[in-house]
Amino acid sequence: MRPVLEIENLRVGFQDGTAAVRGVSLKVARGETHCLVGESGCGKSVTALSTMNLLARGAKRSADVMRFHDRDLTRLSDRDMARLRGDKMAMIFQEPMTSLNPAYTIGSQMAEVLERHRHVSRAKGLERAAELLGRVGITAPGMRLAQYPHQLSGGLRQRVMIAMALMCEPELLIADEPTTALDVTVQAQILRLLQELQRELGLALLLITHDLGIVARMAQRVSVMYAGQVVESGSAEALFHSPTHPYTRGLLACVPIPGKTPRDQPLGSIPGVVPRIGAGFAGCAFRDRCTHAVAACAGTIPRRTISTEHETICTMAAA
């Protein structure tokens, strides 16, 4: 089956010469969760934003393939893209307080989505909004519709954001750190909700996170990003049970697992910092921090297949 979203060789550069995304390829199928994981500055959010064509002015985007179903996103006019955005392709962000308009009620903001994309009446929009608020587990939706964002707790606001993203029955949902600002108990509730909705609606979910715990529990497919590249990708099973790239392995060693990680020993850590990647950067961006680095790491490193759909960019994988 053809994936809902297909990206090949995405490149994004900024005006100051920073290469934020350097040849990212990924696919998300219907009903599948694809996690894009990495640390701050690795380009995961820029990848998401460029898919929605929401990059800041001055950013340059190019891709060999960037397709939503059979529509070529690189050729879409701004106007056509605006029609697609919030309709069949929706996105939710980390901080719901900054993505909701503080001056309008929840109901008015939710209904507007349907008015704009489906040209239906306000009353119809509010009806659908109430239905979806109920669906995302908000009790007394009628009361919530009349409230303003500041009257809601963080967990409720994020539920509202999810409900709003579902107004037009999207086929692709991009969620950028949707639970990072929330408490752990609320995080579990929101993630369960996303999973349920996905099963029910057959959503293709592109989930962006820095949290390997979330990746392990949510993803069918994972792409690990480092310095603008996907350094390793594969099924969640493959990534967690046989991680290949030293960066993936390093990341996994950094997070303690209660009851399993020995308490009196230091955690694994990755020395050094992420290099700044300008134009013309060559070789593996991780080599300065890698304990396995050899001379060949400064050259061009081809992408290699380890097993079915498990790929990495590392000289070690050649051996």
Partner 1 sequence: MIEARDAYRHFSGRTGMFSADRVVRAVDGVSFNLAAGGVLGIVGESGCGKSTLGRMILGLLPPSAGDILVEGQSLAKLDRRERARLIQPIFQDPFSSLNPRQRIREIVGLPLAAQGSVSAAKQRAEVMDMLVRVGLPAEMAERYPAQLSGGQRQRVAIARALVLRPRIVVCDEPTSALDVSVQAQILNLLADLRRELGLTYIFISHNLAVVEHVATEVAVMYLGRFVEQAPSEELFARPRHPYTRALLESVLTAEPGIPIPDVGLGDSYPDPANIPSGCRFHPRCPVATARCRTETPIGPRPGGRIAECHFAD
x/- mask, partner 1, residues 239-278, rule CB under 8 A, reads: -xx--------xxxxxxxxxxxx-x--xxxxxx-x-----
Q: Which two tokens stand for residue 248?
A: 């993936």
Q: Of the ranges 45-53, 111-119, 217-225, 295-303, which one interacts with partner 1 (CB under 8 A)?
A: 217-225
Which value, in Å, is the radius of gyration of the alpha carbons in the chain? 21
The residue type found at 151 is: Q
Rank residues 7 and 239 by Cβ distance to partner 1 and give the closer one: 239
Q: How many residues bind partner 1 (CB under 8 A)?
A: 53
Lookup: tokens for 115: 């008015």
Asked if 183 is part of the footprint of partner 1 (rule: CB under 8 A), the reply reads: yes
> How far is 187 from 183, CA to CA, in rounded Å?
6
Min CB(30)–partner 1 separation in Å = 21
Nearer to partner 1, 113 or 231 (CB): 231
Cβ(149)–Cβ(100) under 8 Å?
yes
Of the two residues 119 and 241, which places its CB atom closer to partner 1 in the complex? 241
Residues 79-118 binding partner 1 (CB under 8 A) are none
Of 146, 237, 281, 309, the one binding partner 1 (CB under 8 A) is: 237
CA angle 24/26/30 to nearest 5° reads: 160
Answer for which of 18, 30, 31, 39 binds partner 1 (CB under 8 A) is: 39
Cα 20 to Cα 67, 113, 177, 284, distances in angstroms: 20, 31, 18, 15
Rank residues 217 and 303 by Cβ distance to partner 1 and give the closer one.
217
Element (H, E) at 72: strand 71-72
Minimum CB distance to partner 1, residue 316 (Å): 19
- Whole-angstrom distance, CA of residue 135 vs CA of residue 174: 19
Task: Note whether 290 and 246 are within 8 A (CB).
Answer: yes
Instruction: Confirm or reject binding of residue 36 to partner 1 (CB under 8 A).
Output: no
> In 3D, which of 168, 203, 262 has the Cα closest to residue 5?
203
Which of 26, 52, 66, 138 lies at the binding interface for partner 1 (CB under 8 A)? 138
Q: Is 188 in the site for partner 1 (CB under 8 A)?
A: yes
Residues 195-214 contacting partner 1, CB under 8 A: 195, 210-214
265: which DSSP letter? S
User: CA angle, corner 223, sides to 252 and 308, nearest 5?
Assistant: 100
Closer Cβ to partner 1, 202 or 213, answer by number: 213
Map residues 47-86 to x or -, x wherever contact with partner 1 holds by CB under 8 A: ----------------------------------------
**What sign has the CA pseudo-torsion 90, 172, 145, 180?**
negative
Contacts with partner 1, residue ranges (CB under 8 A): 39-40, 137-139, 153-156, 183-189, 191-192, 195, 210-219, 236-237, 240-241, 250-261, 263, 266-271, 273
